[in-house]
Amino acid sequence: MKKIAVLTSGGDSPGMNAAIRAVVRRGLSLNMEVYGIYHGYTGLMNGHIELMTAGSVGDIIHRGGTMLYTARSLEFKTEEGQQRGIEQLKANGIEGLVVIGGDGSFRGAQKLAQKGFPTIGIPGTIDNDIPGTDFTLGFDTAVNTVIDAIDKIRDTATSHERTYVVEVMGRHRGDIALWSGLSGGAESILTPEVDYDIEDIVKRLMEGHHRGKKHSIIIIAEGVCPASEIGKIIEEKSGLETRVTVLGHVQRGGSPSAFDRMLGSRLGAKAVDLLLAGEAGKMVGISKNEITAVDFDDVFNGKLPVDTEMYEISKSLSI
Ligand code: ADP
Ligand code: F6P
């Protein structure tokens, strides 16, 4: 394989640039030509493809977002769209493609692989919601962004002796809430994976208040329900002044953490090695700090673990 390409697709995440850089530079070091495809599958279908040099990916390892831009394309979900994509790749002499994105982007990549065009996926999303990898690219940075916000909210919460309900992202997954809640010292953590008991949450809140706690912080994953609903119930039941903060897209941006730069670099290099070895239709991931390759089918059929131990620890530490 002499010519490969890389694109980013779906929601961006910090660390995507580190992965793009790794794909380009690993490819160059293996004497390949590496192309960047701009605007995800939309750019692929429209032939927005450019030859990359080592310099094209200079000065990006520390930047959030994606230098290749990203997109969501309905057209690429059709046979015709996928065929147009393959034609563009072939017209440029490209023989393999690395797709950095989430579950949806991998479905597109799998379609290309099933049509005989080799693809490898790199899990890039802040949600940490992809089976077959312990971590997705951007999750660690998003958690750090959230705990930075919690630390700030804690200051004003203490000054006013208030309760705060903080809503974090994660789509249907609660990992951002669980990790940031535990590392941010939240009193309660609500996620879609574990049923919650509002009476118990209020009881714990009141116990803390009576013991002299100056504030309480409750983290809720967006996949549970709007934070405003929980905030209203808690204020009514506890009688304590409660505020709601929805952190939103700040969680998607910012300079990637050292962990995400490492992960992006390792996954990017491995993706190129796999293409060179003739592999296709796989996602690269990390398991117990080893870089792995998992069939897309196993990713789509895989189950995400629920870390009950983390919930237990969080409960016992937030008394
Ligand atoms: P993510 O990759 O973050 O999960 P999306 O679900 O929005 O984001 O998917 C990104 C893009 O991948 C979609 O806009 C579409 O172009 C492509 N895609 C998603 N699902 C499929 C599918 N079943 N077949 C082909 N392409 C798909
Ligand atoms: O998948 C990443 C994510 O940020 C989710 O956490 C969130 O639900 C969604 O994307 C938001 O999507 P959009 O950028 O389209 O508002």
What is the reported pLDDT for 318? 83
Specify the CATH superfamily of domain 142-252: Phosphofructokinase domain (3.40.50.460)
| Average pLDDT of the residues of the chain | 97
User: What would the pLDDT profile of 243-280 be if each residue is shown by its tens digit?
Assistant: 999 999 999 999 999 999 999 999 999 999 999 999 99
Q: Is 11 in the pocket of ligand 2 (CB under 6 A)?
A: yes
Marked catalytic residue, from 12, 103, 127, 129: 127
CATH T-level topology, domain 3-138+256-301: Rossmann fold (3.40.50)
Cα–Cα distances in Å, from 250 out to 12, 64, 71, 293?
12, 11, 19, 31
Please count the other Cβ atoms lying within 10 Å of the Cβ belonging to residue 273.
17
What is the reported pLDDT for 14? 98
What is the reported pLDDT for 43? 98
d(CA 236, CA 255): 39
CB of 146 within 8 A of CB of 252? no
User: What would the pLDDT profile of 119-167 be if each residue is shown by its tens digit?
Assistant: 999 999 999 999 999 999 999 999 999 999 999 999 999 999 999 999 9
d(CA 146, CA 250): 9
Query: Any idea where the domains of the chain sit in the sequence?
Result: 3-138+256-301, 142-252
What is the reported pLDDT for 246? 98
Q: Is 252 in the pocket of ligand 2 (CB under 6 A)?
A: yes
| Banded model confidence at residue 315, pLDDT cuts 50, 70, 90 | confident
Name the nearest CA neighbour of 220 among 238, 198, 241: 198
| CA 72–ligand 1 middle distance (angstroms) | 7
**CA within 13 Å, CB half, 215:** 22
- Residue 79 pLDDT exceeds 90: yes
- Residue 232 pLDDT exceeds 90: yes
Q: Tokens standing for 140?
A: 């660690």
Question: Do the two domains 3-138+256-301 and 142-252 of this chain adopt the same fold?
Answer: yes
What is the arithmetic mean of pLDDT over 295-306? 96
Q: Is 124 in the pocket of ligand 2 (CB under 6 A)?
A: no
Which residues, 6 or more positions from 318, have their beta carbon under 8 angstroms from its beta carbon? 185, 186, 187, 188, 204
Rounded to 5°, angle at Cα 56 from 52 and 62? 130
- Phi and psi angles of residue 154, each rounded to the nearest 5 degrees, phi first: -55, -40
| Banded model confidence at residue 114, pLDDT cuts 50, 70, 90 | very high
| Banded model confidence at residue 300, pLDDT cuts 50, 70, 90 | very high
Report yes or no on whether pTM surpasses 0.95. yes
Query: Which residue has a Cα nearest atom 13 of ligand 2?
Result: 11
What is the arithmetic mean of pLDDT over 88-93? 98
Name the nearest CA neighbour of 30 among 61, 1, 59: 1
CB of 23 within 8 A of CB of 115? no
- Phi and psi angles of residue 195, each rounded to the nearest 5 degrees, phi first: -65, 145
What is the arithmetic mean of pLDDT over 9-22? 98
d(CA 139, CA 145): 10
| Closest ligand, as measured to the CA of 296 | 1
Query: Which residue has a Cα nearest atom 6 of ligand 1?
Result: 104
3-class SS of residue 234: helix
Q: Is 314 in the pocket of ligand 2 (CB under 6 A)?
A: no
d(CA 190, CA 314): 11
Q: Is 169 in the pocket of ligand 2 (CB under 6 A)?
A: yes
What is the reported pLDDT for 61? 98
What is the reported pLDDT for 103? 95
| Banded model confidence at residue 319, pLDDT cuts 50, 70, 90 | confident
Q: Tokens standing for 157?
A: 């919460």
Largest separation between any pair of C-alpha atoms in the chain:
71
- Residue 296 pLDDT exceeds 90: yes
User: What would the pLDDT profile of 172-211 be if each residue is shown by its tens digit?
Assistant: 999 999 999 999 999 999 999 999 999 999 999 999 999 9
Query: Which residue has a Cα nearest atom 14 of ligand 1?
Result: 72
Ligand 1-lining residues (CB < 6 angstroms): 9-11, 41, 72-73, 76-77, 101-105, 107-108, 111, 125
80 Ramachandran zone, left/alpha/beta (phi>0; psi -120 to 50): alpha
Mark whether 127 is an active-site residue.
Answer: yes
| CA 71–ligand 1 middle distance (angstroms) | 9
Answer with the residue of higher pLDDT: 318 or 110: 110
